[in-house]
Amino acid sequence: MHAAAGGLGQKLTQLIKARGGTVIGIVSGAQKADTARRAGAGHIVLSTGDAFVEPVLDVTGGEGVDVVFDGGGETTFRASMSALRRHGLLLYYGAVLGAAPVVNMRELPRSIKISYRSSVTTSPLARRSCATAPTSSTWYGTRTSTLESATATHSTPQPKPIFPEPGTTSRRRSAGHGRRRNAHAGTRSLPQLP
């Protein structure tokens, strides 16, 4: 889990834990490591850029992980593929550090799958696709599959509420300042007050 201490990283970590999964949280510092642990990450890797592959493979006994959640961009994208087990799934959900590189589908290692989408639930389509487009309509295809996925997600028993720890709040009129501050120093969500 890249950026495991960030708002989305915490939510995904809690959801994965609620479904019985183990999370390896990738963070860039000790304070962020504590936040990721509180969210439920079972293992922490301190890393920036692409230096996380070897520690992740050590945790998994060299096998790699089932799924990588990557919102980083080109810096982490190829390394994320290297951290996957055979037939693993790379869920790329953003481009914080720049766009993902062009991928030649014939060169995908270990039969991994890559998905770029806006939702974090797993649908039957994920098991059939090697690459998907980043829209909900393309991902789900039908209203029925959208409802099935939503039902599966929301029927999962939650041991505690899935909310990130807000690091700070800001008024809307000063939201630009808050976002700049968060980009340089923080990892947590930045709720805006009216």
pLDDT computed for residue 156 by the predictor: 62
What tokens were used for 30? Answer: 């000790």
DSSP state of 99: P
pLDDT computed for residue 114 by the predictor: 77
Task: Please determine, for residue 85, whether its predicted confidence score (pLDDT) is greater than 70.
Answer: yes
Reported confidence tier of residue 140, pLDDT bands at 50, 70, 90: low
Task: Please determine, for residue 165, whether its predicted confidence score (pLDDT) is greater than 60.
Answer: yes
CATH architecture of 7-158: 3-Layer(aba) Sandwich (3.40)
CA dihedral 44, 12, 66, 60 (to 10 degrees): 10
Which segments of the chain are extended strands (E)? 24-27, 43-46, 65-70, 84-92, 113-116, 170-171, 192-193
- Percentage of the residues of the chain whose pLDDT score is greater than 90: 35
Residues facing residue 67 across a β-bridge: 89
Average per-residue pLDDT for the chain: 76
pLDDT computed for residue 1 by the predictor: 94
Segment 1-12 shows an average pLDDT of 92
Reported confidence tier of residue 118, pLDDT bands at 50, 70, 90: very low
- Percentage of the residues of the chain whose pLDDT score is greater than 70: 63
The angle formed by the CA atoms of residues 86, 91 and 96, to the nearest 5 degrees, is 130
Any idea where the domains of the chain sit in the sequence?
7-158
